[in-house]
A and B are shown apart, each in its own frame.
Chain A
Amino acid sequence: MEAILAVTSKLAAPFDLMSMLSEVVSAAKQVLKADRGSVWLYDAAADQLVLEIATGIAPVRVPASTGLAGACAHTRRIINVPDCYADARFNPDVDRQSNYRTRCMLTLPLVDHNDVLVGVMQVLNKADGVFDESDEALATVLAAQCAVALQRVRMTAAVIEGEKMRQELEMAREVQMSTLPSVMPEVPGYDLYGTSRPASQTGGDTFDLSHIDQGLLVVLGDATGHGIAPALSVTQMHAMLRMAFRLGADLETAFMQVNNQLASTLADDRFITAFIGLLDVASHRVRFHSGGQAPILHFQAATGTCAHHDPTSFPLAAMPLASLKPAVNVALLPGDILVLLSDGIYEYHDAQGEEFGEQRVEEILKANRGTPVAELSAILFAAVHAFAKGAPQEDDITMVLVKRLPDAAAHKMFRRSFDSLQAIFAFTADFCSRHGVDSGLLPTVDFVVEELFTNMVKYSPDGGAEVRIDIAAIAGGVEMALTDYDVEQFDVTLAPDVDTGLPIEQREPGGLGLHLIRRMVDSIDYEYSQERRQSRIRFRKTLAGPARSRETPGTGD
């Protein structure tokens, strides 16, 4: 009994299976004065006994019904064989292979305290004779200790394996997310937003919104299944599409070739539903193909309702395509929104199994038609979560919203005189308030327009009688242009910076306006048309632009 207590404490230490097995075997050999020992672990799923030999070497597996070990696993009783070669259940092959002679053998079931069979332990050749009844009693006590210790290690291993799997999923997720656009492209007259919120397990959503030579690329994709595979599939599709377009493919070619490539690459049971569209921002038309991605909602501002479009094809990768139906061609009118949502939204269900559905989406679109789309997206998320009342998100949720800003642009002619400033400020303020442009931008916008306009008044007194001012709402702000007619070329944006560190006696007010403008706007550019003798200065100011905060460096020094 003292011997058992001594080995029990040793069994508490190891955390990996191989060292635990070797501890168990050496404990058994020590306690039972045996020459050799081995432990067969029971694999319940396969109903096999598994003999681990060493780390890195494939274990020996035998059906759990053969030999002395099998008999012990089956009966869960100790088997004491004093002369192995006289017992029919004994398999002498092992002796032959290892050049050893087994005389006597004790085979013990390892059963933990939940009555689960962990394995079978065998000890061979007692030092001075055969195993007797007191050895059997001792072995039974020892076997119980060993079973518990082994089971603990096996469960720890399962937890570690689960953690490894989680980390691998996370890496796949990282790759998947890294391909998504982090900054929305800016398109005058449009408000664009795309976002993807993964579920806890890796799903297979992707989206794209980017300027390419063919237009503004709009993509939403959703690969079947969960885990690493769909994450990699959509990432593949995303990259293939970008590459196809970069190589000059048109919409049809890109759609077909990417489909055909995916069909030959992906496993037979995998496919990707995807919307692939190109927006021509000049004609405000979206041409698209949809491989099984639906519904495609087109919110129409004029009626406050949604038009639904069907897919033009089956999901990508399902099978090769030889030909394609014509693309759908949709005209976006002022205020219209193209709404692409992955089924994670429509199919999000509450605890009772009711789905969020299309109707709720349409109501939200109608009620929030004037809201910037980034905010609209947040409203949709909030509505889905409120609806689900705590039911977990089971699928990735991805949204791509393409909104043509309502009546997004205005322009007006102003007399070439300082006296026009009042009217200009009123024009800008009125536009901003009608189009929801943040009024906090007004002082800066007014400042920039005044500097540019008064420059025109001062330096081109012989120009046309009027200056044209254009204003357009863009995401988070405005784009404005001042056009001066019948003037010489003069690029004010090239005016040198002012040395703001000079002592006051040397400071002059001249040039300060442009010095300041450059620090206030997101961008400014100048273009001159020789034929029309026309100067145009265009600038953008958004909330995301140079901050009006105290931390902003910009004293010009």
Chain B
Amino acid sequence: MLAIDFGAEGVVVINGRLDAAEAPAAQSFFDATRGTVTLDCGGLEYISSAGLGVLLKTQKRLLASGGKLRLTGVNRHLQDIFRYSGFDQIFEIEPAR
């Protein structure tokens, strides 16, 4: 129930639900990314702490090599989770319009 792939201009597009069951697959996808990565979350309906773990691990790795993970199109529910978890201080987040 999760689709993750590269879209136009190297943006990573994620669709569906990033839960504990999907986290391993998402992790191996992100492990292959380099530099500054923009993640289009417009189609991300749901994320659990397992999904947050994937994003955190990826951010740490990218920052260490001078890159970063940017999140765009973040919906209200996800914004709340990022804020409650303090992840809004770790990621550059662009809310959904």
Residues of A within 8 A of B (CB): 418-419, 421-422, 425, 443-444, 446-447, 450-451, 454, 498, 500-502, 504-505, 507-509, 512-513, 515-516, 519-520, 548, 550, 552, 554-557
Chain B residue with Cβ nearest A446: B46
A450 nearest CB neighbor, chain B only? B48
Q: Hey, which chain B residues are within 8 Å of A509, CB to CB?
A: 49-50, 52-53, 56-57
**Can you list 24 A-B contacts with CB-CB less than 8 angstroms, sorted by A residue number?**
A418-B20, A418-B21, A421-B19, A421-B21, A443-B45, A443-B77, A444-B77, A446-B48, A447-B48, A450-B19, A454-B48, A500-B84, A501-B89, A504-B56, A507-B86, A507-B90, A509-B50, A509-B57, A512-B53, A512-B85, A548-B80, A556-B84, A556-B85, A556-B86
Contact B85 A515 (CB under 8 A): yes
**Best-surrounded residue of B17, B56, B86, B89 (most CB of chain A within 10 A):** B86
A555 & B86 in contact (Cβ 8 Å cutoff): yes
Query: Which of the residues A425, A501, A516 comes within 8 Å of B84, measured between beta carbons?
Result: A516
CB atoms of A555 and B48 under 8 A apart: no
Q: Which residue of A lies closest to B90 (CB)?
A: A504
Report B's interface with A, CB cutoff 8 A.
1, 17, 19-21, 45-46, 48-50, 52-53, 56-57, 59-60, 63, 76-77, 79-81, 83-90
Cβ-closest chain B residue relative to A518: B84
Residue of A nearest to B54 (CB): A509
**A-B CB contacts (within 8 Å), total count:** 86
Cα distance A419–B79 in the bound complex, in angstroms: 26
Dominant secondary structure at the A interface: helix
Q: Is the CB of B56 within 8 A of A555?
A: no
Partner of A422, one of B21, B52, B79: B21
Query: Which of A425, A519, A555, A557 has the most chain B CB atoms closer than 10 A to its own CB?
Result: A555
Do A501 and B86 touch across chains, with their CB atoms under 8 A apart? yes
Q: How far is the CA of A554 from the CA of B46 in the complex (A)?
A: 19
- From B20, B53, B76, B80, contact of A450 by CB (8 A): B20
Closest A residue to B81 using CB positions: A516
**B6, chain A: closest CB distance, angstroms:** 25
Instruction: Give the residue among B1, B85, B90 with the most A Cβ atoms within 10 A.
Output: B85
Flag if B84 contacts A554 (CB, 8 Å). Answer: yes
CA A504 to CA B68, docked complex, whole Å: 12
19 extra A-B contacts, CB within 8 A, seeds A509-B57, A554-B84: A418-B20, A418-B21, A421-B19, A422-B1, A425-B17, A443-B77, A447-B48, A454-B50, A500-B87, A500-B89, A505-B60, A507-B56, A512-B53, A516-B85, A548-B77, A548-B80, A554-B83, A556-B86, A557-B86
